[in-house]
Structure 1
C-alpha cells in the first residue's frame, strides 16, 4: 500500500499535535473548519495553516494521512531523530545510538519498525540484524 507523501514539517506538525493529546478526529475537524488557532499554543513556530492547504488540495488524501499514515518526501538525519522522538518516543543514547549517517542499535517493536519503514523517504535503508536495527542514509551510488 502506498501512502500519501507529505513534507517533513507537515509530519512534525501532525506528530506534535498527537503527542500533545490532539486526536485524529480533532485534527481533521480543525482543518475542515479552517480553525487552527488553538494549536499555536502547542508550538508557536509551526504554521499550522500548511495543514489546511494540504487538505484543500485533496481532503480524502489528507484524511488518509491522518488515519492510515504517510510517507515523508525527504528525511534528513536530524529529521529522522525528531521523528523517532515524536512518533515513537525514542531517545538518543537510550533507545538508539546516533551516527553521522543515521542511527544504530534502534529499539523498536515489529509494528513500529514497519511504520518507520513506511514513513521514511527513499534515501534511507533500514536493516534489522543481529546487532539491532540500523537506519542509515543510502550511498549516493544506490540511487543510480
Structure 2
C-alpha cells in the first residue's frame, strides 16, 4: 500500500500529539473544525496549523495519514532519532546504538518494523539481522 507522504515536521507534530494522549479521532475532528489552538500547550514551538493546511489539500489522504500511516518525504539522521523516540518510544543508547549514518541493534515487533520501513523516505535502508534492525542512510549513489 502506498502511504501518503508528509514532511518530517508534520510527522513530529502527529506523533507528539499521540504521545500526549490525543487520539486519531480527536486529531481528525479538531483539524476538520480548524481548532488546533489547544494543542499549543503540548508544544508551543510547533505550528499545528500546518496540519490544517495538510488536510485542506486532500482530506481523505489526511485521514489515511492519521488512521493508516504515512511515509516521510525526507528524513535526516536526527529526524530518524526523533521519530524512533516519538513513534516507537525507543531511545538511543538504551534501545539501539546510534550511528553517524543511522541506528543499529534496534528491536521492534513485526508490525512496528513494517511501519518503520513504510514510513522512511527512499534515502534509508532498513535491514534485520540477529543483532536487531539496522536503519542506515543509503549512499548518495544508491538512490540518485
Q: Which residue of 2 aligns with 1:104?
A: 104
Deviation at 1:141, TM superposition (A): 1.4
Q: Which runs of 5+ in 2 are unaligned?
A: none
Residues 92-120 of structure 1, C-alpha deviations (whole Å, 9 max, x = no match): 11100000000011111111100000100
TM-score (norm 2): 0.98
- Count residues with an aligned counterpart: 144
CA distance in 2, matches of 1:99, 1:11: 22
Q: Which runs of 5+ in 1 are unaligned?
A: none
Report matched runs for 1:122-133 at 5 Å: 122-133=122-133
Q: Which residue of 1 aligns with 2:70?
A: 70
CA distance in 2, matches of 1:22, 1:105: 30
Deviation at 1:58, TM superposition (A): 0.5
CA distance in 2, matches of 1:141, 1:36: 41
CA RMSD in angstroms comes to 0.6
Q: Which residue of 2 aligns with 1:92?
A: 92
Deviation at 1:132, TM superposition (A): 1.7
Runs of 4+ in 1 over 2 A off after TM superposition: none
Report matched runs for 1:11-22 at 5 Å: 11-22=11-22
TM-score (norm 1): 0.98
